[in-house]
Amino acid sequence: MSEQFPADSVGLVTPQSMHFDQPLELDCGRALPEYDLVYETYGELNADASNAVLVAHALSGDHHAAGYHSPDERKPGWWNACIGPGKPLDTDRFFIVCSNNLGGCSGSTGPLSTNPKTGALYGADFPMVTVPDWVRSQARLADGLGIRQWAAVVGGSLGGMQALQWAIDFPDRIRHAVVIAAAPKLSAQNIAFNEVARQAILQDPEFHDGRYAEHGVIPRRGLGLARMLGHITYLSEDAMRAKFGRELREGKINFNYDVEFEVESYLRYQAENFVDHFDANTYLLMTRALDYFDPASVHDDNLAAALQHVTASFLILSFTSDWRFPSSRSREIVRALQDGNKRVTYSEIEAPQGHDSFLMPIPVYRDLLRAYMQRVAGETQS
């Protein structure tokens, strides 16, 4: 069976689920009376549970970070490039956990789940969740798995924000935070892009105030547009030029609004592909969680004050061509950590792929992440 998969792959993986029947109080003031988190694990937890690494996913990610669900699965998990035996997140040394965020649509309790109080789908009634809410829910997952302290919490983009929040909210439960292509809060431009994406969904005639499931439809057009817009911001101009240029689909222009340019074909394909496996209400929730993320806001906008009690060591990485969360945003976090004399390493990786770089097997990036994680592993295995 192992021969079906590459040697540096974690191979076949099976998602697991954990049920929580203690209510979870949320930042929005509401509570989830009970919930489930679906997650995957790779590698073995060592005897003193000191080698556990939490991987937090980004906006449209899920718990399937590495390996394959079946021998004929076309693509492995979203961060297969970095998770596996001998890879930067080395499954021979670490026990890696990745869970689908609360409010997601891949198995954890979210808008597609049944509200135990009403017996109907949550849909638009699913409470707004925040990054700190996710971190609290992940802490309970850690409890359930017997993990008192993570060797590291690692994430890119929105996942990096969760790693940062972990270091702030549970300083004694995290030894390292790896924050990749993230920001300490969204800029007005970031929020503006999110707002256009949300408006596309909200104004789709088939959105039905979020109760589209009851009408037996999905707001395909709105969700697809949101995804197209997102994709534009994930790529750099150079990456788009290199990938598509002004290539024409049929080699000539046809004077109509069908797909003329290859880049249009790509965006439409991404949209079509996305609406079949992602939920519109989840997309709304996730973008709002991004908008609201701002750990400094409760400290007079002083990020160093927000990080005052942090004890974790940080690795912060950004990418030269990322204009969604440019290096200057990562340096804000670095600077705040410096101000508090925290241990922090920062590198700006030369990469043309834009924000998506964090998912790519870029050699300099992988080597640096591997070097850092080997230090982390060296501390855990006594």
Nearer to another protein, 194 or 321 (CB): 321
Burial of 43 (C-beta count, 10 Å sphere; 0-12/13-18/19+): buried
Q: In angstroms, what is the minimal distance from the CB of 335 to another protein?
A: 5
Give bridge partners of residue 56 from the DSSP assignment.
155
Euclidean distance between CA atoms 303 and 47, whole angstroms: 37
Instruction: Give which of 339, 342, 324 is closest to 183, Cα–Cα.
Output: 324
Nearer to another protein, 6 or 340 (CB): 340
Q: Which of residues 328-347 bind another protein (CB under 8 A)?
A: 331, 334-335, 338-339, 341, 343-347
Active site (annotated) includes residue 322:
yes
Nearer to another protein, 57 or 185 (CB): 185
Active site (annotated) includes residue 157:
yes
Nearer to another protein, 286 or 315 (CB): 315
Q: In angstroms, what is the minimal distance from the CB of 362 to another protein?
A: 11
Q: Which of residues 282-321 bind another protein (CB under 8 A)?
A: 313, 315
Is residue 371 at the binding interface for another protein, with CB under 8 A as the rule?
Answer: yes
Is residue 380 at the binding interface for another protein, with CB under 8 A as the rule?
Answer: no
CB count within 10 Å of CB 110 equals 24
Euclidean distance between CA atoms 139 and 193, whole angstroms: 31
Active site (annotated) includes residue 355:
yes
Q: In angstroms, what is the minimal distance from the CB of 340 to another protein?
A: 11
- At 55, which helix (H) or strand (E)? strand 52-56
Sign of CA dihedral 276, 240, 244, 222: positive
**What letter does residue 100 receive in the DSSP assignment?**
P
Euclidean distance between CA atoms 84 and 97, whole angstroms: 12
Nearer to another protein, 20 or 314 (CB): 314
Size of the site for another protein (CB under 8 A): 23
Output the CA torsion 354→263→158→71 (10° steps).
Answer: -110
Residues of the shown chain interacting with another protein in the complex, contacts defined by CB under 8 A: 313, 315, 331, 334-335, 338-339, 341, 343-350, 364, 367-368, 371-372, 374-375
Active-site amino acid positions: 157, 322, 355
